[in-house]
Structure 1
Amino acid sequence: MRNFVRNRPSLSGFTALAAFLFAVFAGLLLSAPPAAAHDELTGSVPADGAVLDSAPEAVELTFSNTPAAIGSEVRVLAEDGTDWADGDVRILDNTATQRLRDGAPAGTYTVQWRVVSSDAHPIEGTFGFTAAGGEAETAPAAGPSVQPSEPGDSSQTPVLNQGEDTGLSWQVIVPAVVVLIAVAVLIALIVRRRLREG
């Protein structure tokens, strides 16, 4: 019996093991790369704040990456709240296109968009343009244009309602926390047993 007790691992050995495991998982937690950032709206046709001769035939949104093909929605709202969007959003590469119904009147329009980012997170935002006259005109076939702006004028940049997601990934945090809790419980049990034996 004495040999058995003598050969049992000491409390200091368990403590050293627990400290080692804690250091390993703490290092993994601190060195984990930040979560990938959401895609961004990089341009639009019409550009935000643009003044057109007439309402466009379609609205184009260009993103920093290709958004998912599902869950996309673009509303083109006139001043009275009427949505002039016609049909579903069409996504080709990193550009989402929303057609407008014929007969869109002159006035100020607000474009409200929502797409699923390539990292599977939904992103959304708004921008606006003005049509000086009615009737629809064909949207430019070229890529998104950027209208020149005066110094200090930031109206051409589309608004992106994007949350900051630069924290650590939950896929790393949750397992690490679970392991650390398990190590703490193990230490507590060992200390309690040693106190009873003492």
Structure 2
Amino acid sequence: MTVPPYRPTTVRLGAAILAVLVALLIPAGPAWAHNTLRSAAPVQESTLSSAPTEIVLEFVERLDPTFTTIVLTDAAKRKIPTGDPVVGGAKGSVQVTEALPNGTYTVAYRVVSTDGHPVQGSYPFTVADPNSSAAPIVSTTTDAPSAAASVQDDDGPGAGVLVAGGALAVLVVVVGGLLWRRKARR
């Protein structure tokens, strides 16, 4: 079986393209490493049989205590009093300073990644204590809490992703042009 003469060149060209992609993507890796929420207590969208006394958020990367904010609001979007955020490594917490009646609450956070990029989000949880005599807090507005229904990460695609995508597009056009030119010569 004979191998077409253009095959070794195509293999070398493919290897060169792969090498360029690896060179472009490997250094850009850390730029994509924005901090994300790993776990939360109370758990996101959970229903609790007793009100929490503390909100604990654990992130993938260390937190900067200076730029860590954790806020608790009720269904009427009123801020619930809490202590100042306490940060230790990748965990941030606040103490809830008053008893929470039954109802839906939202935990909102804003932290800064090690690369200096701010990350924020929010999530709801519900207190449904069967022994509570306090009336549940209900929303005074008619908007559905769709924006707070899941953790919101307001990051768009990072600059590294955009640069790598652009480089890949340019590379595809160049390789396509070279292959078309080679075919036209024959």
**Quick check: TM above 0.5?**
yes
Question: Is it true that 1:40 corresponds to 2:36 in the alignment?
Answer: yes
Larger Rg computed on CA atoms: 1
Gaps (5+ residues) in structure 2? Answer: 1-19, 134-148, 164-186
Aligned equivalents of 1:85 and 1:162: distance in 2?
28
Q: Which has the larger share of helix? A: 2
Secondary structure at the counterpart of residue 101 of structure 2: coil
Structure 1 position 165 matched with structure 2 position 165: no
The equivalences for 1:1-198 within 5 A come to 31=24, 33-34=27-28, 35-133=31-129, 158-167=151-160
How far apart are 1:31 and its partner, in Å?
3.9
**Conserved 8 A contact 1:106-1:131:** yes
Contact persistence 1:127–1:158 (CA under 8 A):
yes
How far apart in 1 are the matches of 2:24 and 2:101? Answer: 56
SS in 1 for 2:55: strand
TM (norm. structure 1) is: 0.55
Superposition CA RMSD, Å: 2.9
- Greater relative contact order (CA < 8 Å, ≥ 6 in sequence): 1
Whole-angstrom CA distance in 2 between matches of 1:169 and 1:159: 21
SS of 2:70's equivalent? strand
Asked whether the 8 Å contact 2:53–2:96 carries over to 1, the reply is yes
Taking a change above 3 Å as real, the CA distance of residues 110 and 126 of structure 1, as seen in their structure-2 partners, is: same
Structure 1 pair 31/47, CA: closer, same or farther in 2 (3 Å)?
same
Amino acid at match of 1:112: A
Structure 1: gaps spanning 5 or more residues: 1-26, 136-155, 171-198
